[in-house]
Amino acid sequence: EDKVVQSPLSLVVHEGDTVTLNCSYEVTNFRSLLWYKQEKKAPTFLFMLTSSGIEKKSGRLSSILDKKELFSILNITATQTGDSAIYLCAVGIMEYGNKLVFGAGTILRVKS
């Protein structure tokens, strides 16, 4: 059974802190790993990673994939209250339908 596990399940930090969110996976046919941010409504796309060791960056957010150890991390530096959200990790499966398997998410709360 394909499985994606995120840790921690929840996290409370203060503005300005740096956080690291973890995502490990066990899937049969790996295609890609995606990170989404979910505030009140729709999950919004952050990053797609397909190759090991190549960091993707967008402002204060960055992510990297390790396909040998089967995990990814999402880093957020200089956190702001607007970073408070659920962060979802999903793994794309290389099979008919281009399906995603989601982790349970990490709830991040940034206090001012």
Partner 1 sequence: NAGVTQTPKFRILKIGQSMTLQCAQDMNHNYMYWYRQDPGMGLKLIYYSVGAGITDKGEVPNGYNVSRSTTEDFPLRLELAAPSQTSVYFCASSYSDRQLYSNQPQHFGDGTRLSIL
x/- binding map, residues 5-44, to partner 1, per CB under 8 A? Answer: ----x---------------------xx-x-x----xxxx
Token pair of 50 as six digits: 């397909």
CB 61 within 8 Å of CB 82? no
**Backbone phi, then psi, for 7, in 5-degree steps?**
-145, 150
- The contact pattern for partner 1, residues 81-100, with x = CB under 8 A and - = no contact, is -------x-x-x-xxxxxxx
C-alpha to C-alpha distance for 21 and 44, rounded to whole angstroms: 17
Amino acid letter for position 57: K
Q: Using the minimum distance from each CB to partner 1, give the nearer residue, 59 or 97.
A: 97
Per CB under 8 A, residues contacting partner 1 are 4, 9, 31-32, 34, 36, 41-45, 48, 50, 88, 90, 92, 94-100, 102-105
